[in-house]
């Protein structure tokens, strides 16, 4: 996600803005820029392609001085990564704007502004905003009024900050679908897309709500809601620490990252949803042309990302009605395969540098797949650069080798992709609205699941002397069982295998005895009765069942059965919800076993070799 920082102060703000950009850099970037109004009310701008360090080096040679400024790190959606496409964008030397999000009607507005004589020098949708504000400003009494009138003409998602060199005492911010926070200092005020950017200068924050427009000066904050009425928003004090390498109150990075999942998913969703739809341009400016022609999907991944792909296959076929294949990258690249007509080639990787996945993408290009899409957590990675479309999961830095928040944000990303493609396959608008609603409610549900941690820690004691275990699931929960087994073997070194529950009679029942714990994921769906029968097969043979069950199933514990109830959620997001208790179980078993949780033996975070 792009990063925004703005400041109004009595001191020079260049270093404040630059440090803010550094703190947001993990979210993704391909360029960075800054604009400051100096004491002579001149608007000076500096932009550079590449990392924030490139901008920092440029500022040493061309310092910017002044007490009012805005800055931005960009990840390209409209227009290639280049200096001319970098933010801030300026209109007629007067108005400067930084913007996160996607303006869906930018082409219409661009043509309208061209007729008014505005010249466009970039390919971005953001330049439409700055020229539109400039145009409206000529007929209004203030920059605030100009922004309020401008946002009424915008369709899509935005978090933005505007500045007028002719009135450098104030900044105007607006939020719709993309986050924006106000930082409250002593005799200075700030805007940012994330509070992390402002922690060196303040711990006091006001979060703008949907549709808010805010004006800040050095000593005053005025906020207006969507209807233009003045409103008060609550001020809060942050206890967040910035450093991703700091475990904070957590014993291990893995546990910290498990608890970061609600916020990580909020980041994945921000600026990409309307009230009832997924914004397809979130996948790239060519998404419409590609998605409208998709007839099938080929998903390629490794490890945990492969499990995300397996869940997505159920979603694509049952929700979107699109045929979907999923294959391990190292297998795909070494076999002859038939390329389906109009097939979208989707790769998934946390790092974007997974060797087998990269090689599979390059092979797919040779084979003539219609187009490629990368789902990834690292902007600028090889996988992202080499794909036609890219979707950033925005999970943030994940230090623990065993993936947690990267996996759940991949699932969220896939569900959004299913909705975006499904609308071209006859999926109803009502179904997409249900998906969007379920996604928006997901972070809150995950917070409730995390409250089970103490109970799951007690449950983990039963695994202290075990050497083997089975995980069972049906339907789209089968890949979640696979992921649960992978987590347990990765960090506790217990041999764990996952099976589709219906396969028990075809071999795995031979392993069942009193020393074989069997972990079951049991959502409340149309496969529940079948799953109950499979559980009885285990129980009848002396196996110990550990069931994570939707509370609506009303499954009962008893001899040989321990049940952990999970809050009822919409069936479509159930695989994401049921992932978290399995992560916690693996973590606490590993603690009991005394293994190196964050750096398990023989494993690396990014697999860049075959």
Eight-state DSSP code of residue 485: H
Rg (CA), the chain: 25
Query: Which residues, in sequence order, are CB contacts of 444 under 8 Å at separation 6+?
Result: 262
CA nearest neighbour of 252 among 583, 581, 9: 583
CA nearest neighbour of 179 among 197, 192, 196: 192
Phi, psi of 451 (to 5 degrees): -70, -10
What is the number of other CB atoms lying within 10 angstroms of the CB of residue 15?
12
Q: How far apart are CA 152 and CA 132, in angstroms?
A: 11
Q: Are 574 and 550 in contact (CB under 8 A)?
A: yes
Q: How far apart are CA 297 and CA 424, in angstroms?
A: 14
Q: Tell me the CA end-to-end span of the chain in Å, nearest whole number.
A: 30
Query: Which residues, in sequence order, are CB contacts of 457 under 8 Å at separation 6+?
Result: 584, 588
Phi, psi of 464 (to 5 degrees): -60, -30
Per-position DSSP letters for 558-576, written without gaps between them: BTTEEEEEE----GGGHHH
Q: How far apart are CA 401 and CA 157, in angstroms?
A: 34
Q: Are 242 and 20 in contact (CB under 8 A)?
A: no
What is the number of other CB atoms lying within 10 angstroms of the CB of residue 63?
12
Per-position DSSP letters for 581-605, written without gaps between them: HHHHHHHHHHHHHT--SSS-TT--S
Q: Are 80 and 114 in contact (CB under 8 A)?
A: no
Eight-state DSSP code of residue 505: G
Q: How far apart are CA 180 and CA 195, in angstroms?
A: 9
**Which of the residues are catalytic?**
2, 605
Q: Are 126 and 99 in contact (CB under 8 A)?
A: yes
Q: How far apart are CA 380 and CA 394, in angstroms?
A: 13
Q: How far is CA 561 from CA 165, 200, 248, 387, 553, in A?
A: 69, 51, 36, 47, 15
Helices (H), 318-468: 329-332, 355-367, 382-385, 405-422, 429-450, 453-460
Which residue in the block uniquely carries the two structure tokens 């996604």? 439
Q: How far apart are CA 435 and CA 457, in angstroms?
A: 32
Burial 164-201 (b: 16+ CB within 10 A, else e): bbeebebbbbbbbbbbbbbbbbeebbbbbbbbbbbbeb
Q: Are 518 and 538 in contact (CB under 8 A)?
A: yes
């Amino acid at each position: 996600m792009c990063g925004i920082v703005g400041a109004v102060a009595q001191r020079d703000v260049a270093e404040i803005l630059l440090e803010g950009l550094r703190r947001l850099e993990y979210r993704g970037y391909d360029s960075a820029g800054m604009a400051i109004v100096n004491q002579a009310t001149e608007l000076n701008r500096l932009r550079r392609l590449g990392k924030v360090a490139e901008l920092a080096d440029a500022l040493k040679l061309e310092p910017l001085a002044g007490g009012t400024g805005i800055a931005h790190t960009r990840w390209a959606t409209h227009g290639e990564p280049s200096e001319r496409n970098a933010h801030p964008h300026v209109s007629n030397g007067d108005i400067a704007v930084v913007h996160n999000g996607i303006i869906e009607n930018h082409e219409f507005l661009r043509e309208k502004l061209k007729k008014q004589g505005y010249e466009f020098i970039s390919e971005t949708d953001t330049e439409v905003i700055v020229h539109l504000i400039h145009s409206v400003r000529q007929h209004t009494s203030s920059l605030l009024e100009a922004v309020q009138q401008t946002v009424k003409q915008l369709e899509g998602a935005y978090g933005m900050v505007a500045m007028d060199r002719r009135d450098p005492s104030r900044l105007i911010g607006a939020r719709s679908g993309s986050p924006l926070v106000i930082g409250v200092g002593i005799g200075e005020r700030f805007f940012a897309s994330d509070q992390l950017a402002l922690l060196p200068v303040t711990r006091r924050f006001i979060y703008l709500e949907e549709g808010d427009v805010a004006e800040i000066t050095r000593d005053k904050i005025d906020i207006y809601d969507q209807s233009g009425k003045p409103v008060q928003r609550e001020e809060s004090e942050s206890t967040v620490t910035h450093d991703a390498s700091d475990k904070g109150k957590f014993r291990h990075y893995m546990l910290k990252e498990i608890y970061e999942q609600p916020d990580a998913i909020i980041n994945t969703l921000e600026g990409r949803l309307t009230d009832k739809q997924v914004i397809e341009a979130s996948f790239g400016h060519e998404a419409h042309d590609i998605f409208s022609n998709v007839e099938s999907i080929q998903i390629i991944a490794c490890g945990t990302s492969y499990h995300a792909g397996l869940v997505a296959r159920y979603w694509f076929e049952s929700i979107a009605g699109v045929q979907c294949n999923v294959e391990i990258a190292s297998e795909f690249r070494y076999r002859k395969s038939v390329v389906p007509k109009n097939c979208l080639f989707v790769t998934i990787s946390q790092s974007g540098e997974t060797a087998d996945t990269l090689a599979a993408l390059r092979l797919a290009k040779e084979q003539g797949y219609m187009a490629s899409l990368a789902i990834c957590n690292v902007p600028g990675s090889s996988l992202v650069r080499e794909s036609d479309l890219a979707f950033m999961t925005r999970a943030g830095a994940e230090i623990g080798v065993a993936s947690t928040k990267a996996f759940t944000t991949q699932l969220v990303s896939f569900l959004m992709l299913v909705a975006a493609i499904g609308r071209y396959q006859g999926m109803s608008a009502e179904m997409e609205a249900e998906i969007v609603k379920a996604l928006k409610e997901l972070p809150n549900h995950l917070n409730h699941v995390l409250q089970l941690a103490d109970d799951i820690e007690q449950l983990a004691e039963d695994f202290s002397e075990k050497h083997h275990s089975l995980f069972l699931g049906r339907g789209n929960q089968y890949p979640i069982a696979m992921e649960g087994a992978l987590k347990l073997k990765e960090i506790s070194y217990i041999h764990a295998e996952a099976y589709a529950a219906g396969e028990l009679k075809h071999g795995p029942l031979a392993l069942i005895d009193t020393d074989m714990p069997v972990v079951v994921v049991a959502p409340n769906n149309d496969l529940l009765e079948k799953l109950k029968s499979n559980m009885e097969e285990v129980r009848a043979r002396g196996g110990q069942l550990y069931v994570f069950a939707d509370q609506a199933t009303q499954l009962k514990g008893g001899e040989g059965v321990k049940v952990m109830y999970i809050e009822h959620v919409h069936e479509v997001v159930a695989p994401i919800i049921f992932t978290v208790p399995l992560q916690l179980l693996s973590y606490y078993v590993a603690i009991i076993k005394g293994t190196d949780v964050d750096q398990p033996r023989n494993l690396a975070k990014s697999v860049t070799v075959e």
